[in-house]
Amino acid sequence: METIIQDVVIIGGGIAGLWLHHRLRKAGYQSVLLEKEVLGGMQSNYSQGIIHGGTKYSLNGALSKATNAIAEMPTRWQHCIEGQGEIDLRDARIASDHHYMWSRDRLTSKLTAFFASRALGDKIESNTSASRPEAFNNDRFHGNFYALKELVLDIPSVIECLSGPYRDSIYQYNGTQPNTFEVDGEAINAVILQGKQKKVRIEAQHVIFTAGEGNESLLHSAGFQVPAMQRRPLHMVLVRHDYPHPIFAHCIGSGSKPLITITTHYDSEGRPIWYLGGNLAETGVELDSERQIQSAKTLLKDILPWIDLGKTEWKSFLINRAEPRQNALTRPDSAFVHTQGNVITAWPTKLALTPNLADAVFEHLSAPWAQSTPDEVRRERLAFVPHPPATPSPWEKYFC
């Protein structure tokens, strides 16, 4: 059995794993990324693409730990979009250069003052009716409106930017036999890839799990019991319609979470599709698809009464947010990294925190090995392992 020596093996090809692999390769590390199924996976490709700056975590009128942890992430992503950050994302498509926030009714004076305070003054700005997106430029709108300095990105294009330059070092291991670990105490000595007629060992200084929900089974297959994982489900809704003006916004009420979060996407024929999350998705996990779709219809009619969507088609689906386990299954405040021997388990916990996660992982890495297998030898020995495709977006999956 042939052996390949690498600095790092990453298992999990969502945005967290791809971002880390990209940075490692740029920094001179010999790394390979292994993905079981498709690039983008579930959590990354099924996100709404919002690079949060933490405003939605401050709807109770106070700065939270989550707000502080994520506050600088939009700036870091913006630098990458401009080609001046740690990753070159100039070819990624910006769906909207702002995410917005509106209320059905006038906000309390306390919350309005908080949004106008110095604490958040550089993150949000109040919009006059003349500068609002067309969807909210209507006489029947009577609430508050803010433009958040938060990008909304087309996630498939981000995945392509991250994977494209290093595609030849990204492999799909879901063949006739899944990967096997050689474990010695708290260390994984090697990851074994096996095809129909060939088997290769990959030895590495570090093995990093970035597989989202798949981290749990990876840890268990290596014989590790920590860190524990939690799942927080969402019941997302898609509606394809004829309304021409896009919406990228949270609708907020009196609670601490957005009533609904809307992002706009397009099918292959250019027809708009709204992707609906927020509290609608959190509270709808116990509903079947028919009742969840009816809840979405009722809420949209209530908060956007002036909008006629025309002919509509509706779909809904359940998806889990996978994260390190918290007391009472609460939302983690920041990116999470756990080390055990040479194994690093990582969850960004939020899309926007991906750069922060990579920073945290780098703090635990040794310098590159001089004896790592050269790329040309690694390519030859792993030629039997296919490269994973990208996963379709939810709107492509359900409407195309």
Task: Write down the domain spans for the chain.
Answer: 2-44+158-228+329-393, 97-151+231-321
DSSP designation for 234: E
97-151+231-321 — its CATH code?
3.30.9
Alpha-carbon Rg for the chain, nearest whole angstrom, is 22
Query: Looking at residue 285, what DSSP letter applies?
Result: T
Cα distance between the two ends of the chain = 44
State residue 309's pLDDT score.
97
CA distances from 197 to 83, 176, 193, 378, 384 (A): 43, 10, 11, 17, 9
Average pLDDT per 10 consecutive residues for the chain, totaling 400 residues? 96 97 97 95 92 75 65 94 97 96 75 60 65 90 89 96 96 67 94 89 97 95 94 97 97 88 95 97 98 98 96 97 86 89 96 96 95 96 94 89
Give the pLDDT score at 55: 74
| Predicted pLDDT of residue 177 | 46
- Looking at domain 2-44+158-228+329-393, its CATH superfamily turns out to be FAD/NAD(P)-binding domain (3.50.50.60)
Rounded to 10 degrees, the C-alpha dihedral 315/316/317/320 comes to: 140
- Helix, strand and coil content of the chain, in percent to the nearest 5, comes to 30, 30, 40
User: Do 95 and 157 meet the contact criterion of CB atoms below 8 Å apart?
Assistant: no
Which of 108, 94, 100 shows the shortest CA–CA distance to 126?
100
The H or E element containing residue 205 is: strand 199-209
Helix (H) or strand (E) holding 76: helix 73-81
Domains 2-44+158-228+329-393 and 97-151+231-321 are alike in CATH topology? no
